A and B are shown apart, each in its own frame.
Chain A
Amino acid sequence: MNLIGFVSVLILVITLLTIVFGAIAYFMYKIRERKRKAANRTYSYEEALEHEKSEFIYFE
């Protein structure tokens, strides 16, 4: 196989991988943001009461 032919195959493989990787990276970013958002979420006192299904919250 000549050099240009080899480079063509190489570019083809990289192009294919890049398109797939681009989409995967995008969804990885979305998942990361969702996790960060969940980790940084703050709860109000009322929400904590609701979550605990109790009249009071006890702190240790």
Chain B
Amino acid sequence: MKTLAIILLILLLTVGMGVTLYNFTQFYISLNTLFAKVGYTLIFIFTLLIISRYMLLLFFSLLQLLFRITDIELKKQTRGPMVSIIVPAYNESKVIAKSIESLLLQQYENIELIIVDDGSKDETFLIAKQYEGEMGAKSVKVFRKPNGGKSRAINFGIEHSSGELILVVDADSKLNSDAVELLVRHFENDEIAAVAGSVYITNQVNIWTKLQALEYIEGLNMVRNGQALVKAVNIIPGPIGMFRKSALYDVGLYDHDTFAEDCDVTLKLIAKGYKIDFEPEAVAYTEAPESLLDLIKQRYRWTRGILQAIRKHAGLLVRPRGNVTATVVLWYMLFESILWPTVDVWVNAFIVFVSLTQGVSLLVFYWWMIFTIMDMAAALFCVLVTGERLSLVFYAAFYRLFFVEIINTAKILATIEEFVGVKMEWGKLERKGRL
């Protein structure tokens, strides 16, 4: 009954969006300068582009869900190939114990847990060391190495692993007890090199974390579900991602020249022609930044890291070399990281300008309304699929009103810094220990 009500609401919202879009188009006649008319036309084309992208992803996501329901091959198995779980940790004393405990509670039996302390200055190593040893079919190994960055810590773990499958988990993540077995089953298909899991936010304690929770289920999980239809998920998230070890060695493991090593390694795999899948039910809970400045810090690193990864594979943007998927993925990422934030902020500035010079029009209302309705429809769909709290849909109104705007402004400034070549550091976030 609840599902039916949500589906009807989504349909109603879609109709509402169509009506709003129609009203939006009526403004063209009322604009009296060439500058405003050209600007408006660009906004309209861009709006159509964004709506098409959303609808396509929603459609792909829906199709993928239908395929999953009918896919009888994807059966859970608690026994199978050895999985080495790599946990790179740097100053994670507040969360490392909970993370290890959640990994030891995995129903999948053939597990080797490798904690790599990357030269922490706190008690991370000592806390992790207490868990070292054999526990039935599961074993825990704890290593300590001089600080060298996350990618080096992951590679260190991989080199000391014996499993044929590698699960990379952030030290501030907590996994569902069936996460490993859900991920492992995808590797029966030899073409699959990696599988991404779902990431949910555990500390939904204020408006920033709630808006991020909405962003995660809508922007990340829905998008990945859509990309999974063509087995081309573009980023294996840091909190949960499983890899075929042979594929990782084939692409030379993780590189150390970007600040988004997860995005970079995924792009390397896609560029080599490997397929990347998504498992929505394998869930990792992670801490999100709780303050605006910490959120900007995180997005600054993501934006510059992703741009660095795209730059490394820039050749594929214009020369597919028989790998059209890689080219499409790269263009998509370029759109997400540069074009969308720039145009979004420009459109808002343009609307403010037109309103101030030609009088406040309803243009700004309809523009906001189109995207808010779209966000609400997408959020409803995601809530329906993920089982997240329905109250998150309410936050969609604020999401477009100021959250996206602030993030996009930070992304643009980070992009400028990346092109100018401003020196950057990792920028680790302080954990609150709310896992």
In-complex Cβ contact of B352 among A12, A21, A26 (8 A): A12
In-complex Cβ contact of B362 among A4, A15, A18, A22 (8 A): A4
How many Å lie between the Cα of A17 and that of B234 in the bound state? 34
In-complex Cβ contact of B296 among A15, A18, A26 (8 A): A26
Q: Does A19 have its Cβ within 8 Å of any Cβ on chain B? A: yes
**Those of B285-311 within 8 Å (CB) of chain A:** 292-293, 296-297, 300
CB distance from A5 to the nearest CB of B (A): 7
CB distance from A46 to the nearest CB of B (A): 22
Which residues of chain A are near B296, meaning CB under 8 Å?
25-26, 29
Contact A23 B300 (CB under 8 A): no
Contact B300 A15 (CB under 8 A): no
CB nearest to A20 among chain B residues: B409
Which residues of chain A are near B409, meaning CB under 8 Å?
18-19, 22-23, 25-26
Contact B292 A11 (CB under 8 A): no
Interface size on A, residues (CB 8 A): 22
Which residues of chain B are near A25, meaning CB under 8 Å?
292-293, 296, 406, 409-410
Q: Does A7 have its Cβ within 8 Å of any Cβ on chain B? A: yes
Contact A12 B351 (CB under 8 A): yes
Q: Mark A24-46, 1 if CB is under 8 A from B, else 0.
A: 01101100110001000000000
Which residues of chain B are near A9, meaning CB under 8 Å?
360
**Those of B379-435 within 8 Å (CB) of chain A:** 401-402, 405-410, 413, 425, 427
Q: How many contacts A-B (CB < 8 Å)? A: 74
Q: Does B368 have its Cβ within 8 Å of any Cβ on chain A? A: yes
Contact B355 A12 (CB under 8 A): yes
CB distance from B296 to the nearest CB of A (A): 4
Q: Does B349 have its Cβ within 8 Å of any Cβ on chain A? A: yes
In-complex Cβ contact of B351 among A5, A15, A28, A37 (8 A): A15
In-complex Cβ contact of B348 among A8, A19, A32 (8 A): A19
Q: Does A49 have its Cβ within 8 Å of any Cβ on chain B? A: no
Contact B401 A11 (CB under 8 A): yes
How many Å lie between the Cα of A11 and that of B361 in the bound state? 11
CB distance from A23 to the nearest CB of B (A): 6
Contact A11 B364 (CB under 8 A): yes
Q: Does B35 have its Cβ within 8 Å of any Cβ on chain A? A: no
Contact A22 B408 (CB under 8 A): yes
In-complex Cβ contact of A15 among B297, B405, B427 (8 A): B405
Going nearest first, the 7 A-B pairs with the smallest beta carbon separation are: A22-B409, A8-B365, A22-B406, A18-B405, A18-B402, A29-B296, A29-B293
Q: List 28 A-B contacts (CB under 8 A).
A: A4-B365, A5-B360, A5-B362, A8-B361, A9-B360, A11-B368, A12-B360, A14-B402, A15-B348, A18-B348, A18-B401, A18-B405, A19-B345, A19-B352, A21-B402, A21-B406, A22-B405, A22-B408, A22-B409, A25-B292, A25-B296, A25-B406, A26-B409, A28-B293, A29-B293, A29-B300, A32-B293, A37-B425
